[in-house]
Amino acid sequence: MSPEGILSERDHILPEQVHLLLERTTTMSEHCGSIRCIVGANVCITGARFCIARATYSTIGALWLQKVYCWSELPYGRSALSSLLERLIWLPEDCGSRRNAKHGGEIFDRMSFDILIDQRRTRSSLLRLKVRYRHMLTEPIKNTSVDYEVELCNGAEKDIILPVQCLRNYPKEDLFGKIVMVRFDSTVLFKEGQMLELKSVHRAFASIKYLCNAGAKVVIVTDWGEPNGSTRLPTQSVADYLSKFLQVKVLAADGIYGRVQSKQQKLETADILLLENLSVYKEEVANCPIFSEKLSSGIDIFVNDAFSDSHRILASTVGVVRFAHASVAGFHFEEELLRLTKALEIIKRPYIAVIGGGNLMDKSSALCHLASHCDGLVFVGTMAFQFMHALGLPVSSGLLEVGAAAEALKLINLAKERNIPILIPRDFWCMNSENPKLLNVFPAHDLLDGWKPIDLGPKSLTDISSLLSESKKVLWIGPVKLGTSQEKNGASRLVFTLGQACANGCLLTVVGRAACKAIKEVETSQSMQYCFKSAAVVWKILKGQSLPGVAALDQAYPYVLNWSSIYDDPSGPLIVDIGSGNGLFLLRMARTWSSLNFLGLEINKKLVHRCLESVQKFGLRNGHFISTNATTTFRSIVSSYPGFLLLVSVQCPDPDFNKSDHRWRMLQRTLIEAITDLLSGEGKVFLQSDIKSVATRMKQQFIRYGRGKLLVDVDGIGVEYDGEGWLKHNPFSVQSDWEQHVIDRGDPMYRVMLAKADGN
């Protein structure tokens, strides 16, 4: 494509102006220079040869250079261009933070240049640039990142709705007769062989009861006790216990390697099948694919209800999803994830984090996150000694972590930049090494040899109480424990202080088994939000890492779509193109039929961005595109549409012929079932491909998983089939660019139209 073509395709973003920021480079005399753009555009500086600078958005608001294609060094007009650029102001590398750049006696906050580019095909007039500048002293740079802009164009708002598919949203009628594996969270049921609080137990069993009532056959997989523990309960005892609680027959299986027929036969004589304790299998922790396949043999749907293990990569939480056609979150899993999402929201300030425990090196990224969002950090565990050491205070080598001082200094400097306090103990209760019954209080800067810190001192607790008394939100994560000491006075005093803060309206989130156990010893107001016993899950989130157990589930669309802002008439019929690609087919359809609404679902964000630009360029109010994986999000997106689904098209999917395992993943059972469920009584499905085997596979899959609701449309207007059962012509009279390409080269397209059977 020529430079003029590239420029003409982009100039609708800013038809008259392209705002540029230019920076000095050592190659300025050799090349046309680096260009930093504030708005999205492709800028072409052309001569006998040309250079294209392509700019993209960044998350901080400015647009940084993505890639420069230099086909020449501009051998003609080079000095004129260099002379022009030399007269312009040069902004420093950190132009976003350094407000003023001084040049030639003038001071500018920011400048924009309108560059009018004109190409001459004669060598005597290679380049003409008309430049004028103006001050931009008050106009801020907008945060126009690609993702952000796409989300805004989608009419979407971030919501607390979970970005995973949940059991409550799965069609209940589709559960009847299905074999459903439930990964149960045994930590909410057993504690040293005893049942935990009744409320927790009821929540934990909600998914299993729901599935049984829906007519599903349930297979429970879980773990209890340590792999080598002597108190591990036998499988039959656990099955009997579950039977008594659920009031249904629970059958204990011998091992987990049962064949499909074996599981089905056993489920004919019982309501629930309990597989053997997973903790005895090392393949579980290793996420062994062979083990996962055998574990999930015969399973239709996987329900994960073990949120406390979501930070781990296990065969029973991650590996099995590959062999189930649907993987969703159970009621307990959904509730815990939603509670944690809300708990980490910052809705009140001052927001203080109370951090116990140790292992600073492993948690440094999470602590940096807290330091960047909280209004103060309080260290009440062995991490405090790392900060003392970093500040030059004497600390016993037995209390130090290798290399932790540098990380501690990094956090201290970050806190200084944000002007927030980091509170470490001023004094400690210490125990004499020779006489353990001899206790004394020592200041933190004067710990004597032979005395071991075992608990927080009175001054430290006073400091903590003073800081927390003014807080409106507190996150307490980790135990108040110094080394191996079992002293609990400091924890008790902290709990008392937090109880008073809660009584004054402070929101409290407690994380970790020790902290949750300690908090129960005092009555707190209803302002105390949540207790999370699995600290590893929370630490992983604070580190900015995804939870494998969550990521493995089918994803839902994480935004609430405002259909009224997308379409002029959101109640009109909807046509969805799955895998819309460059969007040309859908854009042509939208311009042809203004009474219908068109939606393209495409996983490639860059293509979606271009399509949205075209929607804006043409002023379309009946066309829209969303960047998403339609395989898992189709149901959550289309089910929220206020109108009815008239047509779904899947055209020319690209199977991976190099990977047989992934070859047909472009069209999965969950997607077909979602389309079938949401399609209106008069709805249709259009399938086509230039590869016969792909078209045949799509047709077979839709008929197979359409559950008798989809049949080949033979009565439709303009529908005419050849001898092999393929449509002779495109029924829409609108072709995609690839379809046109295939026809132009003389190859056939394999098409079929499916319709709802009897309007079901």
CA-CA distance, 314 to 337, in Å (whole number)?
A: 18
* Residue 371 DSSP SS3: helix
E strands, 603-749, in order: 623-627, 645-651, 679-689, 710-712
**Are the CB atoms for 378 and 464 separated by under 8 Å?**
yes
CB atoms within 10 A of CB 465: 16
Q: Print burial letters for 530-554: b (CB count within 10 Å at least 16), e (below 16).
A: bbbbbbebbbbbbbeeebbbbebbb
**Are the CB atoms for 501 and 523 separated by under 8 Å?**
no
CA-CA distance, 545 to 529, in Å (whole number)?
A: 24
The residue assigned the tokens 């800013």 is 14
Q: Which residues contact 3 (CB under 8 A, 6 or more apart)?
A: 44, 46, 50, 52, 119
Q: Which residues contact 72 (CB under 8 A, 6 or more apart)?
A: 47, 48, 49, 50, 51
How buried is residue 686: exposed, middle or buried, by Cβ count under 10 Å (0-12/13-18/19+)? buried
The two tokens of residue 732 are: 């829409």
Q: Are strands 473-477 and 507-511 parallel, antiparallel or unpaired?
A: parallel
Q: What angle do CA 355, 408, 537 make, to 5 degrees?
A: 40
| Residue of 654, 656, 737, 747 marked catalytic | 654
- Report whether the peptide linkage leading into residue 350 is cis, meaning its omega lies within 30 degrees of zero: yes
* Residues paired with 269 in a beta bridge: none
The two tokens of residue 453 are: 């810190």
Can you say how many angstroms the Cα of residue 231 is from the centroid of all Cα atoms in its chain? 39
Alpha helices in 619-654 (DSSP H): 630-638
CA-CA distance, 562 to 566, in Å (whole number)?
A: 7
| Sign of the alpha-carbon torsion through 246, 250, 256, 261 | negative
| 449 catalytically annotated | no
* Residues paired with 626 in a beta bridge: 601
* Residues paired with 453 in a beta bridge: 430
Can you say how many angstroms the Cα of residue 261 is from the centroid of all Cα atoms in its chain? 38
E strands, 478-618, in order: 507-511, 528-532, 559-561, 574-578, 597-602
The two tokens of residue 72 are: 């020449």
CA-CA distance, 748 to 743, in Å (whole number)?
A: 6
User: For residue 53, which of 29, 73, 35 has the smallest C-alpha distance?
Assistant: 35
The residue assigned the tokens 């960044």 is 58
Quick one: DSSP state of residue 231? T
CB atoms within 10 A of CB 16: 7
The residue assigned the tokens 């102006």 is 17
CA-CA distance, 42 to 6, in Å (whole number)?
A: 7
**Cα(first)–Cα(last) distance of the chain, in Å?**
49
For the packed helices 383-390 and 404-418, what is the interaxial angle rounded to 10 degrees?
80
The two tokens of residue 299 are: 């399973």
Which positions are annotated as active-site residues? Answer: 654
